[in-house]
A = this chain, B = another copy of it.
Amino acid sequence: MKQVSLKELNSGTSAAFVAALGDIFEHSPWVAEAAANERPFGSLAELYDSLCDKLRHAGKSRQLAVIRAHPDLAGKAARAGALTADSAAEQASAGLDRLSEDEYATFHRRNEAYKKKFGFPFIICVRRHTKHSILDQLDRRRGSDVESERATAVQEILRIVALRLDQRVRVSDRLNVHGRLSTHVLDNLSGRPGKGIAIELLEVSKAGESRLIRRAVTNEDGRTDEPLIAGRPIPIGSYELRFAIGDYYAEAKAARADPPFLDVVPIRFAMAEPEGHYHVPLLCTPWSYTTYRGS
């Protein structure tokens, strides 16, 4: 994906603007065309607001056209490799490109039921979700009515657009579309930050299967050098943090049992706000620990 600067977008021709952003809305370059006339934009937020306005005030039939321009999630186009590059990357982010046959069948069945009821495909900003929360939403939203679903689909498209725009345009300001997960280990045995503690972050499915997302080691301040998640929405779902405090206290030669009472401490929690800031710290000794949603 080629990045472009806001300055270039402002100073180039309309054609260049549409060449750069025409595919921000799935198969719908007319939105970028309409926005091109409102240049220059003072910030990425202004550009985004202009694009949003175009879709929001486009009228029902044009909105439906944009909605219908989207592929099924985990659908035939995906299997056939016929997705746009953006769609392909988005679906992959939630693992929709790696479904089992059973899962694929489940998606297919629910997509069809949804389309049958509403007359358009199910739209959701996939980067804010896990496979499981997408199926949850498919279930819940199928209970809704057509007008509400059209409004929800527009809203989800604008979320998709925000994320695509944020990746595409090189600017100093960022859109407020990113969540964050951080942690901190405080060693209550020494009254000091826990340094050098290996941490794993896993995504956990309802069936209890887990997938490693990230490894890190705490620094001098008991934190990881980078947040565990940053610069992207947090997929709604269940996670597990694992802290290897057994190795840490072995290194520190703390008095312990053999095997130690605590070794790898698992903290299992769900994140429900893709743009939220989650801080999940651990206060520990060889015999106790405390965790909480911090800030």
Contact = CB atoms under 8 A, between A and B. Distances in A.
Contact of A292 (B257, B260, B266, B287): B287
Contacts of A49: none
A188 B285 contact: yes
A280 to B, nearest CB: 9
Contact of A290 (B255, B257, B288): B288
Interface string A44-78: 00000000000000000000000000000000000
A265 interface: yes
A294 interface: yes
Contacts of A269: 261-262
A259 B130 CA distance: 12
Interface residues of A, number: 42
Interface stretch (A8-16, A32-40, A95-103, A189-197): A189-197
A273 interface: yes
Contacts of A133: 259
Contact of A257 (B221, B272, B295): B272
> Which of A221, A264, A266, A287 gathers most chain B CB within 10 Å?
A287
A188 B188 contact: yes
Interface string A276-295: 00000001011111111111
Contact of A186 (B188, B191, B264, B294): B294
A32 B265 CA distance: 48
A270 B260 contact: yes
Nearest to A284: B188
A199 interface: no
A260 B186 CA distance: 18
Interface of A: 133, 186, 188-193, 221-222, 236-238, 255, 257-266, 268-273, 283, 285-295
For the complex of A and B, list the 6 residue pairs with the smallest distance between their C-beta atoms, beginning with the closest. A191-B287, A288-B292, A257-B272, A259-B270, A188-B288, A191-B293
15 contacts: A133-B259, A188-B285, A188-B287, A188-B288, A188-B292, A191-B287, A193-B295, A238-B259, A263-B270, A283-B288, A285-B285, A287-B292, A287-B293, A288-B292, A289-B292
